[in-house]
Structure 1
């Protein structure tokens, strides 16, 4: 029986070697040895997010290319799309530094970076990397998210909900869009009846975040959604109300009793 290995331990010199092996055939000037040594000498003792940042930063130094050229190289090593709704952090873990690269170095190239995040999220996730873009280009990102909310790929649809969550785990907390919870809720309207459990869970988690910040607005919206869609969305609604159920909120308990949740 194999022993558990913390995810952070995968972000080391071995991963740097893997990335170098992928990049070198595409970019003959890539200094593999320098890149690997830079990662190896900097990740020891660091936690996951800091290790990811080290590899991203070392990639930036080693590529030594304008962002537009560097991202074209990196897009070629993304690998096949994840056709399941599992393994984004296990099978796709090696893409975390690339998502971080887009997050940090691509902010001045909106369209190119949105395309990169769209591609990455089909294989891993862009839920963290998209947040600085949301803060800088809110209206433009929202236009993209409205399109992505009806994308055929469940990973892309999930990003619409997960990337805008106010209290996304591992990420810095953000306020609701434009300070208005109904902007977040409007994004979720396209996803509330999603057939994917993967997306449903994200929508429920997003609603749970909102219920801690804007309780009345969230409950009102949930009741309206149930009137429109009926019991087929009960699981998502219950998941979204779980914190209020836990504290025995009377309005929520009555609502759940009424819908048979």
Structure 2
């Protein structure tokens, strides 16, 4: 039986070497050896988020390029898209510092950053990195997300729901979009009938987040959705009500009876 290796342990000099080797193919001036050495000297004893932050900082120093030029290099190292709906933190784990690079250094370059996050999320995830852009450029980012909600790639569609969740795990809580629950609900409405179980789970989790602060608006919206789409969306709606059901909320239980569950 193999022993468990914590995820944080993968964010070390070996990961820096993977990134450095990939970058050097497209940017020969990249100081790979010193990048790997500095990471190796800095990550010992740190937890995951701090390790990612160290690798990202050292990556920025080693690239030593204007952000737009750095983005052009980093897009080339992403590798093939994830054709499955799992493995984001297994096969694509090495891209976590790249996503964080966009989050930290790309806030003044929203268009270039959003384009790179779009590509990263097909291989890893951008659900954390996109949140600062939502806070600073909400209108512009929402325009992108509304288009992405119809994207052919399920990872991109999931990002629309997951990246805007008010209570995304391991992320700082985020206010409702435009401080209005209807904006969140309108954004994820096209995903309620999504065929992907991966997307459906995210939508249910988003609805469950909203249930903790905006129960009345949520249930009214669910009634409307159920009237439109019928029992085929019962699973998503039930997943979104799970916290209210667990607390024996009478309005949620009444809606469950209305659905026939």
Q: Is TM > 0.5 for Structure 1 vs Structure 2?
A: yes
Q: TM-score, normalised by structure 1?
A: 0.98
Q: Give deviations 1:129-174, integer Å, cap 9, x for gaps.
A: 0001000000000000000000000000000000000000111111
The alignment partner of 1:25 has SS state of helix
The alignment partner of 1:225 has SS state of helix
Q: TM-score, normalised by structure 2?
A: 0.98
How far apart, CA to CA, are the structure 2 residues paired with 1:227 and 1:240?
17
User: What residue is the counterpart of 1:49 in the other structure?
Assistant: 49
Q: How many residues are treated as equivalent by the alignment?
A: 261
How far apart, CA to CA, are the structure 2 residues paired with 1:220 and 1:54?
46
Offset at residue 257 of structure 1 (A): 2.0
Over aligned residue pairs, what C-alpha RMSD do you find?
Answer: 0.8
User: What residue is the counterpart of 2:189 in the other structure?
Assistant: 189
Offset at residue 27 of structure 1 (A): 1.2
How far apart, CA to CA, are the structure 1 residues paired with 2:33 and 2:150?
44
Offset at residue 4 of structure 1 (A): 1.2
Offset at residue 56 of structure 1 (A): 0.8
How far apart, CA to CA, are the structure 2 residues paired with 1:124 and 1:19?
14
Q: Give deviations 1:172-218, integer Å, cap 9, x for gaps.
A: 11100111000000011110100100000000000000000111111
User: What residue is the counterpart of 2:70 in the other structure?
Assistant: 70
How far apart, CA to CA, are the structure 2 residues paired with 1:132 and 1:74?
20
Deviates more, 1:31-40 or 1:145-154: 31-40
User: What residue is the counterpart of 2:10 in the other structure?
Assistant: 10
Runs of 4+ in 1 over 3 A off after TM superposition: none
User: What residue is the counterpart of 1:204 in the other structure?
Assistant: 204
Q: Give deviations 1:76-107, integer Å, cap 9, x for gaps.
A: 11000001101011111000000000111111
User: What residue is the counterpart of 1:141 in the other structure?
Assistant: 141
Deviates more, 1:22-31 or 1:168-177: 22-31
